[in-house]
Amino acid sequence: MNTDSDNHPPLVQLPTELSDQAAAHLIEFLYDLARNLESLYAAQLYRYYHPRDHRQIDIFDHSDPPF
């Protein structure tokens, strides 16, 4: 069976054996990276995971400038 992983090399080549300390540091780095990405792209992630309900009534007249 031909899987997607057969067609593409792994994104990151990680060592198969790490010391306990190295594994802990690697995981800590990856969690920090994920937190930073979530913080940087928070608005985009929110819009993606909470799409606007298009049935909702728009109460603002966007054709008339406010000032």
What is the Cα–Cα distance from 31 to 37, expressed in whole angstroms?
10
Whose tokens are 């802990």? That residue is: 24
Quote the tokens at residue 64.
């008339």
Q: Of the candidates 55, 38, 35, 56, which has an alpha carbon nearest to the alpha carbon of residue 46?
A: 38
What pTM, to 2 d.p., does this model score? 0.57
Per-residue confidence of the chain (67 residues) as pLDDT tens digits? 556 657 888 888 888 899 999 999 999 999 999 999 999 999 999 989 988 777 766 677 777 776 7
Q: Which backbone phi and psi does 6 adopt, to 5 degrees?
A: -70, -30
Give the chain's radius of gyration (CA, Å): 22
Map out the domains of the chain as residue ranges: 17-52
Identity of residue 8: H
